[in-house]
C-alpha cells in the first residue's frame, strides 16, 4: 500500500469520526419530553446544595425532595428548563449546575482537541515525508 493510499484512508477515517461526533452533538427530531421527563432531567442537572456531590435526583434528603417538588411546580407553571436552571444558579451559584452540555463551550471542548490532533498528525506526516525525501535525495 502506497503512502498516498494510507493517507487517504487515514484522512477518510478522521473525517468520518468528526462527522459522527458533530452529528451526535446536533439536536435530534425527537418528540418533546413530558413534564415528568423534564423534571427528572432538571433534577439530574442540579446538584443538591446540602448533599455531598449528589444531584437532586440522586439525593434522598428532605431538602432535595422539596427542591424536586419546586422544580415540578415550576415546570407545571410553564417555566422553561433554562429558567429553572437560571433560578437555581442565581440562588446557589453556577457550581451547582451539573449539566453544561448545551453550552457552546462544551461543544468547543470536543471539537478543538480533535482538530488539534488532526492538524498535529498532518504536521507530523508532512515532516516525516520531508525527512524521507531529503534522505532519498542524499543517497
What pLDDT digit, counting tens, does each position of 9-19 carry? 888 888 888 88
What is the C-alpha R_g of the chain?
24
What is the per-residue pLDDT for 65? 93
Q: Is the pLDDT of residue 50 over 70?
A: yes
What is the per-residue pLDDT for 100? 55
User: Are 56 and 45 a contacting pair, CB within 8 Å?
Assistant: no
DSSP 6-71: HHHHHHHHHHHHHHHHHHHHSPP-PPPPPHHHHHHHHHHHBB-TTSSS-BTTT--SHHHHHHHHHH
| Segment holding 139, helix H or strand E | none
Is this prediction's pTM over 0.75? Answer: no
Greater model confidence, 100 or 20: 20
What pLDDT digit, counting tens, does each position of 69-121 carry? 999 999 999 999 999 999 999 998 888 888 655 566 667 777 888 889 999 99
Domain ranges of the chain: 31-100, 103-139
CATH of domain 31-100: 1.10.8.640
Q: CA-CA distances (angstroms) from residue 2 to 5, 6, 7, 74, 137?
A: 5, 6, 9, 63, 19
**Average of per-residue pLDDT values in the chain:** 85
Q: Is the pLDDT of residue 67 over 90?
A: yes
How many residues would you count in the chain?
A: 139
Residue 135: pLDDT band by 50, 70, 90 thresholds?
confident
| Alpha carbon distance 122, 99 (integer Å) | 34
What is the per-residue pLDDT for 69? 95
| Alpha carbon distance 67, 92 (integer Å) | 12
95: phi then psi, degrees, rounded to nearest 5: -70, -10
What is the per-residue pLDDT for 123? 93
Residue with cell 542524499: 138
What is the per-residue pLDDT for 117? 92
Q: Is the pLDDT of residue 29 over 70?
A: no
User: Are 14 and 118 a contacting pair, CB within 8 Å?
Assistant: yes
Amino acid at each position: 500500500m502506497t503512502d498516498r493510499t494510507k493517507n487517504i484512508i487515514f484522512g477518510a477515517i478522521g473525517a468520518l469520526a468528526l462527522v459522527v461526533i458533530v452529528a451526535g452533538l446536533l439536536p435530534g427530531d425527537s418528540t418533546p419530553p413530558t413534564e415528568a421527563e423534564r423534571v427528572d432531567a432538571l433534577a439530574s442537572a442540579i446538584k443538591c446544595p446540602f448533599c455531598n456531590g449528589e444531584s437532586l435526583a440522586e439525593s434522598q434528603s428532605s431538602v432535595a425532595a422539596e427542591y424536586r417538588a419546586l422544580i415540578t411546580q415550576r415546570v407545571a407553571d410553564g417555566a422553561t428548563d433554562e429558567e429553572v436552571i437560571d433560578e437555581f444558579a442565581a440562588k446557589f451559584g453556577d457550581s451547582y449546575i451539573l449539566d453544561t452540555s448545551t453550552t457552546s463551550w462544551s461543544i468547543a471542548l470536543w471539537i478543538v482537541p480533535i482538530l488539534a490532533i488532526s492538524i498535529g498528525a498532518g504536521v507530523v506526516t508532512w515532516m516525516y515525508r520531508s525527512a524521507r525525501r531529503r534522505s532519498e535525495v542524499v543517497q
